[in-house]
A and B are shown apart, each in its own frame.
Chain A
């Protein structure tokens, strides 16, 4: 079946620290992979995506590379800011998932000055 597993939080970092949030997936076929971000009091926003193996999605200093061999899509940022404090969701969707998006449980990130 299809599923997404991401690291449990919460994660607390100091400003300018390096961020990694791990995400691995199980899927049939070749899904697209996504990272969504949810700021307090808001809905989910698409942060970045990758649609095929070895693609790198990037946005706002965040990056994630679609690794088929390790079935992973880890989110990274070289230098986090206080404004990056939010909940981050890894997700997959694809031709074999019908109408479904499969989301992870979310990882809460707090960045302290």
Chain B
């Protein structure tokens, strides 16, 4: 596998379910990101991890819980979501999250989430 991979590619869940999204990068990067992509809206940065430490949380509701066990893996744990949380969730990585190195972001294909 090369680049940034995400699983599952599609997920349908009820509002009372608990699920997790997984992201893995094979680029040797140290920073990883979660973005939310909704129709007709700019990409929204949700979380940033640099060397496994969370460095950014953009006022994301607590029903979204990130986890970064190492620099290659990033998870997004989901529980009691709302229908408006339906979107494409994109993972990205970069060499680090500061300076010019953060400008080289590589994106995964995304997980299409539908909350019913």
Residues of A whose CB lies within 8 Å of any CB of B are 4, 32, 34, 36, 41-46, 49, 51, 89, 93, 98-106
* Alpha-carbon distance between A42 and B98 when the two chains are bound, in angstroms: 26
Q: Which of B40, B48, B100, B109 contacts A43 (CB 8 A)?
A: B109
Determine the chain A residues whose CB is within 8 A of the CB of B98 once the complex forms: 99
Contact across chains for B102 and A99 when beta carbons are under 8 A apart? yes
Q: Which of B6, B43, B108 contacts A101 (CB 8 A)?
A: B43
Q: Which of A43, A99, A104 contacts B97 (CB 8 A)?
A: A99
Determine the chain A residues whose CB is within 8 A of the CB of B103 once the complex forms: 32, 34, 49, 93
Residue on A nearest B112 in the bound complex, by CB? A41
What 0/1 pattern do residues 37 to 53 of B give for CB contact below 8 A with A?
A: 00011110100100000
Q: B6, B40, B105: which has the most chain A beta carbons within 10 Å?
A: B105
Determine the chain B residues whose CB is within 8 A of the CB of A99 once the complex forms: 45, 48, 55-56, 97-98, 102
Chain B interfacial residues counted at CB < 8 A: 24
List 16 additional A-B contacts (Cβ < 8 Å) besides A44-B107, A98-B56, A105-B42: A4-B42, A34-B103, A43-B6, A43-B107, A43-B109, A43-B110, A44-B105, A46-B104, A89-B43, A93-B103, A99-B45, A99-B48, A99-B102, A102-B42, A103-B43, A105-B41
